[in-house]
């Protein structure tokens, strides 16, 4: 079955710097790659996603890149702010949504003011 590895487990950056979180997946059939942000005591929130027919997607300070050949995808946050501090999860899915969505272990991001 699908396996998603996420690195690093913890990331600390200075406010204004960029943060990069990387994930790899094992099943080449995966075609949907969402990223979620989870704040303490809350449920995950979808922040950006990318499908396998696209190599890069950007939404303001957040961007995601996908390399299908290497089976890895990355989240890039530029001009980080303290409110970006949270746990970020990558995920990989084959076709129909949650049933086949496999989550990474999470990255705890600390943005120091």
Partner 1 sequence: GAVVSQHPSRVICKSGTSVKIECRSLDFQATTMFWYRQFPKQSLMLMATSNEGSKATYEQGVEKDKFLINHASLTLSTLTVTSAHPEDSSFYICSGEGSNEKLFFGSGTQLSVL
Q: Counting contacts by CB under 8 A, is residue 70 touching partner 1?
A: no
What is the bridge-based pairing of β-strands 10-14 and 107-112?
parallel
**CA–CA separation, 109 and 111 (whole Å):** 6
By beta-carbon proximity to partner 1, the closer residue of 76 and 108 is 108
Side-chain half-sphere exposure of 29, counting CA atoms within 13 A: 9
Site for partner 1 in 73-92 (CB under 8 A): 89
Q: Counting contacts by CB under 8 A, is residue 8 touching partner 1?
A: no
Instruction: Please pick, from the candidates 1, 42, 69, 83, the single residue that binds partner 1 as defined by CB under 8 A.
Output: 42
Q: Phi and psi for 99 in degrees, rounded to 5? A: -60, -35
- 3 state DSSP class of 76: strand
Q: Counting contacts by CB under 8 A, is residue 35 touching partner 1?
A: no
Pick the piece of the chain touching partner 1 (CB under 8 A) from 13-21, 22-30, 34-42, 60-68.
34-42
Tokens of 25: 């997946």
CB of 67 to partner 1, least distance (A): 21
Q: Give the interface size with partner 1 as a residue count (CB under 8 A).
A: 23
């Amino acid at each position: 079955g699908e396996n998603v590895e996420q690195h690093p487990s913890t990331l600390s950056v200075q406010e204004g710097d960029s943060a990069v979180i990387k994930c790899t997946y094992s099943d080449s059939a995966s075609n949907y790659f969402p990223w979620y942000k989870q704040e303490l005591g809350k449920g995950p929130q979808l922040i950006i996603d990318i499908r396998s027919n696209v190599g890069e997607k950007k939404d303001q300070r957040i961007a995601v890149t996908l390399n299908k050949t290497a089976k890895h995808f990355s989240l890039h946050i530029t001009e980080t702010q303290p409110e970006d501090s949270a746990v970020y999860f990558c995920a990989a899915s084959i076709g129909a949504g949650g049933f086949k969505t496999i989550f990474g272990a999470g990255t705890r991001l600390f943005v120091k003011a």
